[in-house]
Amino acid sequence: GPPAEACRDAGAFGEAVRGMSGRGCMVLVPGGEGGDLLALSCGGRRLAVPAREAARAADSWKSMAGTWDAFDLKSILRTAAPEGFVPPGTWSDPMLAAVVVRGRGGRMTLREAARDFLGREAGGDGEGGPEVAAGLALDALSALVPALEAETAREDAGRLLREVEMPLVPVLARMEALGVRLDASALKSAGGEMRERLATIEREVRAAVGPGFNLLSPRQVAEVLFGKLKLPARRRTKTGYSTDEAVLEELAALNPLPGLILEFRRLSKLLGTYLEPLPGFCDAEGLLHTSYNQVGAATGRISSSDPNLQNVPVRGETGLRIRRAFVPRGRGLLLLSADYSQIELRILAHLA
């Protein structure tokens, strides 16, 4: 098909989409330094507009009451639609359909979906500019939609997509836009205390084994524990004897050094994974905007990324302090934590 027609601003985008009717499709495509482009096609017309300009055209989005196939709709809502926009009309997400019928976790790109379901690549080699790239993406998407509809019917997945997955998309997009408030000062205080404890452990360990010892080097730890201290080696790996958590916990009953090394590893990971980086993800209002992935795991559970909040530690005093840094957005609000346990899944499996 032809390249997409460039729309440079929200006004031009609004005028163009008001004349569109029938069934259309849309997808985000990379636009270089200017940011992503929203490519859309409907009624024989193709458009490519900077995503940030499309997001300014709130009235234009409200007029899109037809039938739309939006590849990775949640990303489109977050990037190119007005904040809080809930799509009117009938919307489907070929990306969700592709993941559901394939039965595996992980977000799928348009290129991957075209390769899997059409047997060809989506898009060209990048030549011709963003409007050509947008046109090629729309070509692939328009061919992908009927192929996925046939696969969805064959796998009897239509009801799952309509009643479960699609209604969840605007909810997750709204959650991402709202964000989670983080008490950065609490994390900073905990991080300072943790750095002091790490320095203390380093001094104690190096006083016992000598200077130049890297507590995070498995090779050096193995040399000290099994060579210098003659502690019993438990399990051999391809590179030497194991110094994993289970081994260090067992050896800690024989000598205090493995326990100190284990504590140093755990605290270093908490500091580097949560205490130091999390405040950097917050906006000017102290809100952290993670991405909630409804297709991130094969089991169907929701995962998160950029940053990953699903593995925030819960055990130990430090883990609890990190969790306490996630606070309600305002007065009179509470954070509710709800989870299911392994035993409930086992009972469900038994009854099923």
DSSP conformational letter for 32 = G
Q: Residues 330-349: what's their mean pLDDT?
A: 81
Confidence of residue 126 (pLDDT cuts 50, 70, 90): low
3-state secondary structure of 349: helix
Question: What is the pLDDT, as a whole number, of residue 297?
Answer: 78
Q: Residues 49-63: what's their mean pLDDT?
A: 86
Confidence of residue 289 (pLDDT cuts 50, 70, 90): very high
- Residue-wise pLDDT for 105-114, tens only, equals 777 899 999 9
Q: Which letter, b or e, does each residue of 30-48 get, where b requires 16 or more Cβ atoms within 10 Å of its Cβ?
A: ebeeeebbbbbbbeeebbb
Higher pLDDT pick, 315 / 132: 132
Which of these, 29, 105, 73, 36, lies nearest to 173 by C-alpha position?
Answer: 73
- Residue-wise pLDDT for 157-182, tens only, equals 999 999 999 999 999 999 999 999 99
CA–chain centroid gap for 301, Å, is: 13
d(CA 270, CA 312): 9
Question: What is the pLDDT, as a whole number, of residue 149?
Answer: 94
Which of these, 45, 89, 50, lies nearest to 70 by C-alpha position?
Answer: 89
Q: Residues 8-36: what's their mean pLDDT?
A: 83
Question: What is the pLDDT, as a whole number, of residue 114?
Answer: 92
Mean per-residue pLDDT of the chain? 87
249: number of Cβ within 10 Å:
12
Question: What is the pLDDT, as a whole number, of residue 127?
Answer: 57
